[in-house]
Amino acid sequence: MGLLLPVVLCALAACCGATSPPLPPLRFWPPIARGCNDSGILELAGFALQDINRDRKDGYVLSLNRVSDVREHRQASDSPLLGSLFYFTLDVLETDCHVLSRKAWKDCGVRTLHESVYGQCKALFYVNRPGRVLYVLAYNCTLRPVSQRSSHTMCPDCPGPFKLSNPKVLETAAESLAKYNKESASKQYSLFQVTRASGQWVFGFAFFVEYLIKESPCTKHQASSCALQPPDSVPVGLCKGTLTERELQKFVSVTCDFFEPQVPAPGGENPAANQGPADLPTVEESQQKIIAPTNSPSKAVPKGSVQYLPDLDDEKKPEDAQENSPVEPFPVQLELTTDPLGESLDVSFLFLDPEEKKVVVLPFPKKEQRSAECPGPAQQANPLVLPP
Residue 296 has pLDDT above 60, yes or no: no
Q: What is the mean pLDDT of the chain?
A: 81
Q: Do 36 and 141 belong together in one domain?
A: yes
In a domain, 164, yes or no: yes
In a domain, 205, yes or no: yes
pLDDT of residue 355: 85
| Adjacent-strand bridge partners of 232 | none
In a domain, 94, yes or no: yes
If one counts every other C-beta atom within 10 angstroms of the C-beta of residue 157, the result is 9
Q: Do 39 and 140 belong together in one domain?
A: yes
Q: Do 86 and 174 belong together in one domain?
A: no
Q: Do 184 and 126 belong together in one domain?
A: no
Q: Among 21-30, 204-213, 280-289, 317-326, whose mean pLDDT is lowest?
A: 280-289
* Residues in contact with 23: Cβ distance below 8 Å, sequence separation at least 6, in sequence order: none
Confidence of residue 202 (pLDDT cuts 50, 70, 90): confident
**CATH code at position 66:** 3.10.450.10
In a domain, 24, yes or no: no
**Average pLDDT value for residue range 196-216:** 92
In a domain, 242, yes or no: yes
Q: Do 200 and 241 belong together in one domain?
A: yes
Nearest to 107 by CA among 42, 49, 38: 49
Q: Do 126 and 172 belong together in one domain?
A: no
Q: Do 54 and 124 belong together in one domain?
A: yes
Residue-number span of the structural domain to which 214 is assigned: 160-219+234-258
In a domain, 129, yes or no: yes
pLDDT of residue 221: 65
* Residues in contact with 109: Cβ distance below 8 Å, sequence separation at least 6, in sequence order: 95, 96, 97
Amino acid occupying residue 91? D
Residue 90 has pLDDT above 70, yes or no: yes
pLDDT of residue 267: 43
Query: Edge to edge, what strands does the sheet with 249-258 contain?
Result: 160-161, 187-201, 205-219, 235-246, 249-258
Q: Do 38 and 137 belong together in one domain?
A: yes
Confidence of residue 326 (pLDDT cuts 50, 70, 90): low
Residue 85 has pLDDT above 70, yes or no: yes
pLDDT of residue 271: 39
Q: Do 253 and 184 belong together in one domain?
A: yes
**Average pLDDT value for residue range 347-364:** 90
* pLDDT tens-digit series, residues 160-193: 999 999 999 999 999 999 999 999 887 899 999 9
**Average pLDDT value for residue range 355-370:** 86
pLDDT of residue 204: 83
Q: Do 198 and 166 belong together in one domain?
A: yes
Confidence of residue 2 (pLDDT cuts 50, 70, 90): low
Confidence of residue 222 (pLDDT cuts 50, 70, 90): low
> Residue 71 to residues 8, 36, 56, 124: CA-CA distances in angstroms?
53, 9, 25, 10
* Residues in contact with 352: Cβ distance below 8 Å, sequence separation at least 6, in sequence order: 271, 272
**Average pLDDT value for residue range 233-244:** 94
**Average pLDDT value for residue range 76-91:** 82
Confidence of residue 288 (pLDDT cuts 50, 70, 90): very low
Q: What angle do CA 329, 334, 340 make, to 5 degrees?
A: 120
Number of domains in the chain: 2
